[in-house]
Every structure is written in structure tokens, then in C-alpha cells.
Amino acid sequence: APLIHREDYCAPVYWIRTVDLCFDLEPAKTLVTSKMQIERNSAVAHGPLRLHGEELTLLRVLINGESVSFRQEGDELVIDNAPDADFALEIRNTCAPEKNTALSGLYTSGGGFFTQCEAEGFRRITYFLDRPDVMAVYSVLLRADKARYPVLLSNGNLLEQGALDNGRHFAKWHDPFPKPSYLFALVAGDLVAREQRITTRSGKDHLLQVYVRRGDLEKTEHAMNSLIASIAWDEARFKLPLDLERFMIVGVSDFNMGAMENKGLNIFNTSALLVSPATATDADFNRIEAIVAHEYFHNWTGNRVTCRDWFQLSLKEGLTVFRDQEFSMDMAAAPSARAVKRIEDVRNLRAMQFPEDSGAMAHAVRPDSYVEINNFYTPTIYEKGAEVVRMYQTLVGREGFEKGMTLYFERHDGQAVTCDDFAAAINDANPGSELSTRLDAFKRWYSQAGTPRVQARGRFDASARTWTLDLAQANPPTPGQDDKLSQVIPVRMGLLSHAGAALPLQLQGEDAAAGTERVLVLDKAEQSFTFVGLDEAPVASLLRQFSAPVVLDDGLTDAELLVLLKFDTDAFNRWEASQRLALNRLLPVVRSGEELTLDTAYIDGMRAVLRSDQLDSAFKALALTLPSEGYIAEQLDVIDPQRIHAAVGTMQLQLARALRDDWQAAFEANQVAGGYSADPVSSGKRALANLALQMLVLDAVQTGNDIWPGRAYQRFKDAGNMTERMGALTALVFARAGLAQPALERFHALFKHEPLVIDKWFALQGRAPELDGQVFARVKQLMQHPDFSLKNPNRARSLIFSLCLFNPAAFHRTDAAGYVFWADRVLELDAINPQVAGRLARVMDRWTKLAEPYRSAAHEALARVAAKPDLSSDVREVIDRALN
């Protein structure tokens, strides 16, 4: 497959204005008839009409009702002599949903029909100009067997439905909003719906529906509530109303990602839709609220205004992630709960996006080229893209940002646009802002890959009573980008006295202090800011709320970090101090290979957090959770996964032991009584109780004490919700308690009819901390389990991805067996589902940083995959880039 370049973008030679689709749905062979109204694009030179089509059987092509000559060139249907005037094109073809294991296009799952068209799945349904800048109005006629497929859905409004001969029936749908083909969807199956009618602020009535398989209905209440909350939030915060009479969500258990924002007919992975207290954790409840919101918010940011081409993907994804993050923060309400959400988002960014930025697949938020667009639904496009949007808001202010959004929709509603258009709208709505003087430099966030490094050092001048902050930035080279220009980095900051007081901030040349927090804008390679009126060298709290996606080296000592941990008014930086203190202890021993011994300063600091009566339980749990092994690897030039694992294990054990009484007190103080609610306070308590239990069981197993493992088993058995049950099970498994095995067996027996819970069962075993190769051996064994299947993406991810992506110590083995396993699975999966295989292939992104013998063994495994001649373009691109 060729490399596609952003600079080569050309407007289409033809527009498709309307399309009438008719489907005769049969699993083995579905007949598709498509009638399009086509218009030549007068703005560009004449050329043949080239339609995309993949794995289709073409039956006929008519123009204005007459047959026409055409040719098939690779995956394109080419018509050389299309009329100059507007014309009607009719195409008839078949496709084979039942054979479609790639889950892109039209496929079957659990006896129903579903579609996934983003990014280029529509061409696997019928021949089309399958590109996001071609927007058409769709009418859809569905015909299918009535008994097997009583529910027939597509985008927009239901016009008509009725019976046909031979036990078949039909439904006619019409979507009034022009849309790109990637937003088309259809569903046919035996489904039931939770329904709710709402009246929005504007006084309009809407019907909301959540369709699932019979038996799953009671697990849709949270999704429905989240949808209603999302609709209200978007109207209140951004004045963006629901524009359809009917809004539908459908759950499907075979799905390549979380969910899809098809206009008026969102399709969700059941793992991103169904929850009940008995089967889902607090984290699942939060994630589902966020995903329902995300897909709903796409209705404006993505659907009403879409992307001109796929290089602009972050235009909709970064913006929509930003919107769902803001929504979740607003839902969390209390300032401390907002901060917890921010910490979780940043932790996720650092765990997923930072490694991407320093690996073989590093790419800009608006990439310059790709081979397979499916490989670019990445943490960079999504999460770093969201950080870029957040920085606009930081630079122009919250109101300014809302004005910018309003202008964006005024200008571009109904259009397919670019990231430049978005930047222009935000900027034009905010003349004279911090953004307006540096827009071009700011836009380097879109073009330059890599995570900028910011160095900060302070100089105190006692006689002048000034303190000067010297900031410097550098952006390391990434593949294809050796030299980078300075970026615009908003640094939200404050200064503290050593006693913990927030100091007034007055820059040299200013008349008076402007509060105790402000945003400095770093836009040069080096820049200094001098603060006046200071009696002592302050402790700098920089990059508050994580105001830019950079790596900060602030040179703070442990003593200064402890001041921030105790007193900072910014909860994010308090948490950050806890993580930095942990890293300061872990990194030296990982580098040297020496034994780790925790010092009292650290232990006392952590004890104070645990005992604090001001801090929330949720925050405590986050501060007392050690940095992940992946994040630690990120800090090192040469990665030895086994050493990292050993150091983290030792530190955890020492923390468990040194704070044993406090863990016990925390466990007891954080019990939640009464009915289940996933609110921030209750879920924070459960998070801390689970962590405390994990520590207590860990310590007990080491010291040969049975009490805590016994209590954990009891709690596992009696738990009233999945969060506590999973917490207790995890404690047993992670501590390798003797009771872990019986608990796992009991768990399986209890939930054998709940696929989403069985996914958790596999995932926990895939993530368990490695010891002597036992976890790896167990995962290989579990591949033979009757419940395991590579064909269902959730199941494949639960076991294989847990091991390869999230369990470095089990995966990186000196005998290379982990890499052999990986290569085998990538090849096996590639034959079934290239998108899922492409994601698994990404595991080796950073192999060049591995220590020996891992590095050579990784190379060998990569070379073996690369040697396979007929790899999908998904896997081929990832492997080629790893081997460059």
C-alpha cells in the first residue's frame, strides 16, 4: 500500500449530493443497490469518476438508467466518460457480511447485522467516493427476514415500515443532514430498547433509545442517564442542541474499538455501554459516562462539522476528547473530584501517548503521511490532540474559548474543514489574546511530533528580593523530524513559601501582584521571568493542572517536593510531587541494580497523605499508587523491564510493611455502606479500600500471616458490587495468595454467562505480576480455555493485550518466548482482523531502547513478522516503521 501525503490533498472531481440505498440483508450475501445524484465539481479540472470498493461483487452500473462502460483498477471502479451535467448513477453489488471478520463495513455479530464505516469501511458495503469531504443526504431502505431481524435501523428519521412477502419486512429511513460516508450506519437484529422521551431547553421533544440484546436491558440505565446528562451539558456549556428527533445507541459485542458516532445511530461496543453494580466497576461506570458523552458530542464536533481529510482527524477527535473530559469534570462537580479526573487523564496520557511520541510510530497531531489510516486512531490524535485544545482554552480563557467555538460553528456548520480552520476561529474570536500574537508558533503543536522537554531553574537574589525563573525548552528528534522549532507552552504556576503559604505573584515591571496563580507563556528556546518582593527563595509549583503536554524538569529537591505534597493548592501538583518522590527512589536503583531501601522522609510523607483529614480518599489512592512500570521505562534511555519490575515490587512491599497500621486504618475507615452509587466520594473510598487491602494482603503473604488473605477472600465472596469483588480478587492474585486460585475459579463459575465479566477474568490473569514465568505460562494455557477466542476483539484484548501491553515483566523474557508468542498472535490475528492485529503490532514500538538480550530477540521477532509476504497494510506499516 502506498504512503499517502497530506500535501497531496485534492478536492474531489465529483460530488455525490444524495444517495438512495437499498439493502436485502442476508448473512451470506447481501444485495446492495445504490442510486446516487452526482455533480461535477466545477472548481477542479475534469477527470474520470473513481469510486472506492473493497471485497465487493459488482453486478451492474447504470448512468441515467443506461449501461455505461467502466473498468476496475485495483480497488477502484473507474468511469471515464461520465456526463458533464448532473447525472444519476446506479450501482448494484453484493457483499458477504458473515465472512467479514475484520468488522469493518457490514458484518454479522450474535445473529444481527452491524456496520462500522469509519474510516474507510463504507467502500466494503458499496462503491462510493468514500472520503469525508464528500457529503450526501442518505435515504435507506432495509429489507430482511422479520423473525430473525425484527429491528431495522439506520441514520435519521424512520419514514415507514411494513410487511413484505415470505416473512420479510422493511423499514425506510431518511437522514436530513448531509454527511460523509463514514457516518453511515445500519443495524438489523433481534434487539430491545430502553426508551426515554425528553424535552430540551429549546422546547423540542426527542426520543432517546438504547438498543441491546434481550437480557441486557437492565444494564443500560447508566448509559441512558449519561446520554441525557450529555445533551443537557452541551446545550448549557456550548449552546449546542440535539438536532434530531430521534437519537439511538446500539450495543454490539464484536467491535473493533469503544464506540462510533454514526449520525443519530451511535454503535457501541457492549464493553463501553453495559454496566450494573454487580458486573462493572466504578471505573467502568465513569468510562461509560465519558464514552456516551464523547460519541454524543461528536454530533457537533465531527458530524455537523467534519474533517476535510483524515489528516485532520484530531480536529474532531482531539476536540471531542477535550469536550468529554470537561463534561466528566463538570459532572464530578467538587473541585477535588475534578482534580482526580484531571490526574487520571494525565496519567493515561503519560502511559499511552508519551511512549508513542518517543517510539517508532511517533507522529504529529496532524500527521504528514500515513499508509493505513486505521493505524492513526492513536493517543497522539486523541489525547495529545485534546491537550492542544485545552491549551487554546488556557491561552484565551474559558469564555474566549466558548466564543471561539461559537464562531467555528457559525463559519463551518455543514462543512468538511481543517485544523487550520479551527485555529483561525478560536483566534479570530479572541483578538488581543495571548494566542493572537503567536498563532503560527502555537500551530507547531499540530505539525511537530515529540514531547517537548522544559527545564526550569530558579535564582534567588536576597538583596534585590527577586526570584528569577529560567525556562528552556527542547523537543527531541522524532522519525523524519530532526530539528524542531520552539513551541508555545503555557506554564500555569504559583510560588509557595517553605512554610507552605501561597505567595503573591508580581513580575518585574508590574505595579502590583496579580493573585497567587498565573500563566506564563514560554515561546522561545530560553526565557526568564523575574518575580519581585520575595523574602525567601520560593518553592515553585509549575505546570499546574498539567497546563501543557511536556516533560518538566524543575530540579526540585525532595524537601521541596514534600512542601508541594503537603501544601500546594493545586491538587494536580500535589499528586505530581508524590509521583516524583517515588520516581526519585525507583530510578537510581533501576539504573544501578542495587537494592532499594525506603527512607523515613518518604515514608512519613506518604503516611501523612494516608492520615490526612483534608484529602479525599480518591486522591490518596492516586498519590499512594506507584508510577506504572511503563511510565518508569519512559524515564530511561535503556530499558530493562525485569529490573523495573523488581524495583517496583520491592518498593511496594516496603510501603506495605512500613505503613501497615495506616493501611489497616484506611481500609476500615473507607468502607461504604448502603446501596451502590458510583459517585466520586463512594468510588474514592472504594479505591482507597481496595489499595489498602492489596497492600495488607501483600504484606501478609510475605510474612506468612493468613488473616488478611482470609479477609480478602471473605470480602471477595460477600461483595455487593464488582468494584469490591474485583478489588479483593486482585489483592489475592497480585499477592500470589494461596486463595487466589479458588477465588478465580469461583469468580468464573459465578459469571460464566457474563461475557464482559469473563473478559475481566482473563485480563486480570494477563496482568498479574510475573514471578518465575508463571504468569506467562498461565496465559499460554488460558489460550486453550473454552471461553477464549481470538475472533472477538474484547476477548483477544483481554488476554493477549493484557500480557503484551500491560505486563512488561511477564512479556519481556530472557528466553524470548514472549516475543515469539507476540509474533505468532500478530500473524494469527492479521488473518482475522487487521485493525486489531495492527494495534498488537505496536507493542514493539520502542524495542530499540531495550537492554540486551531483549533487544536482539525483539528484532528477531519483528523480522519474522516482516518476512510474511501478505501482511495487511495495518501490520505492515507498524512493523516497517519499527524496523525502519
* For ligand B3K, the closer CB: 269 or 473: 269
Q: How far apart are CA 262 and CA 259, in angstroms?
A: 9
Respond yes or no on whether the N-terminal peptide bond of residue 119 is cis (omega within 30° of 0): yes
Q: How far apart are CA 342 and CA 528, in angstroms?
A: 28
CA 706 to chain centre: 40
Task: Say which entry of Zn ion, ligand B3K, none residue 874 contacts (CB below 5 to 8 A, set by partner kind).
Answer: none
Q: Is the dihedral of CA 228, 230, 233, 234 positive or negative?
A: negative
260 binds ligand B3K (CB under 6 A): yes
| Minimum distance from residue 142 beta carbon to ligand B3K (Å) | 23
Give the number of residues written for the chain.
Answer: 884
Residue spans of alpha helices (H) in 546-659: 558-567, 571-592, 600-611, 617-623, 629-634, 641-658
Task: Say which entry of ligand B3K, Zn ion, none residue 119 contacts (CB below 5 to 8 A, set by partner kind).
Answer: ligand B3K
Task: Say which entry of Zn ion, ligand B3K, none residue 257 contacts (CB below 5 to 8 A, set by partner kind).
Answer: ligand B3K
Strand-pairing partners, residue 491, are 520
Residues 806-865 that bind ligand B3K (CB under 6 A): 835
Specify the amino acid at residue 268.
Answer: F
Q: Is 378 helix (H, G, I), strand (E, B) or coil?
A: coil
Task: Say which entry of Zn ion, ligand B3K, none residue 802 contacts (CB below 5 to 8 A, set by partner kind).
Answer: none
Task: Say which entry of Zn ion, ligand B3K, none residue 430 contacts (CB below 5 to 8 A, set by partner kind).
Answer: none
- Beta carbons within 8 Å of 15's beta carbon, 6+ residues apart: 38, 39, 40, 41, 134
317 binds ligand B3K (CB under 6 A): yes
Termini Cα distance of the chain:
16
| Minimum distance from residue 801 beta carbon to ligand B3K (Å) | 16
Q: How far apart are CA 810 and CA 771, in angstroms?
A: 8
* For ligand B3K, the closer CB: 385 or 450: 385
DSSP class of residue 800 equals: I
309 binds ligand B3K (CB under 6 A): no
Q: Give the cell for residue 234.
A: 452541551
Burial of 441 (0-12, 13-18, 19+ CB in 10 A): middle
Active site residue 745: no
| Minimum distance from residue 840 beta carbon to ligand B3K (Å) | 15
Residues 480-499 that bind ligand B3K (CB under 6 A): none
| Residue among 673, 664, 562 at smallest CA distance from 623 | 562
| Residue among 681, 714, 682, 709 at smallest CA distance from 697 | 709
184 binds ligand B3K (CB under 6 A): no
Among 377, 408, 575, 819, binds ligand B3K (CB under 6 A): 377
| Minimum distance from residue 410 beta carbon to ligand B3K (Å) | 24
Per CB under 6 A, which region of 81-89, 257-265, 488-496, 619-627 contacts ligand B3K?
Answer: 257-265
575 binds ligand B3K (CB under 6 A): no
* For Zn ion, the closer CB: 320 or 730: 320
Residue nearest to ligand B3K (CB): 118
In whole angstroms, how far apart are CA 605 and each of 469, 571, 601, 614, 835? 27, 16, 6, 15, 45
188 binds ligand B3K (CB under 6 A): no
374 binds ligand B3K (CB under 6 A): yes
Are the C-beta atoms of 175 and 136 separated by less than 8 Å? no
Task: Say which entry of ligand B3K, Zn ion, none residue 377 contacts (CB below 5 to 8 A, set by partner kind).
Answer: ligand B3K
Task: Say which entry of ligand B3K, Zn ion, none residue 270 contacts (CB below 5 to 8 A, set by partner kind).
Answer: none
DSSP letter string, 606-617: HHHHHH-SSS-H
Q: How far apart are CA 560 and CA 500, in angstroms?
A: 10
261 binds ligand B3K (CB under 6 A): yes
| Minimum distance from residue 185 beta carbon to ligand B3K (Å) | 12
* For ligand B3K, the closer CB: 169 or 298: 298
Are the C-beta atoms of 270 and 254 separated by less than 8 Å? no
388 binds ligand B3K (CB under 6 A): no
| Residue among 414, 413, 441, 409 at smallest CA distance from 426 | 409
Per CB under 5 A, which region of 101-109, 314-322, 615-623, 853-861 contacts Zn ion?
Answer: 314-322
* For ligand B3K, the closer CB: 40 or 797: 797
Residues 281-300 that bind ligand B3K (CB under 6 A): 294-295, 298
Chain residues binding ligand B3K by CB under 6 A are 118-119, 257, 259-261, 294-295, 298, 317, 374, 377, 835
Residue ranges that bind Zn ion, judged by CB under 5 A = 317, 320
Catalytic residues: 295
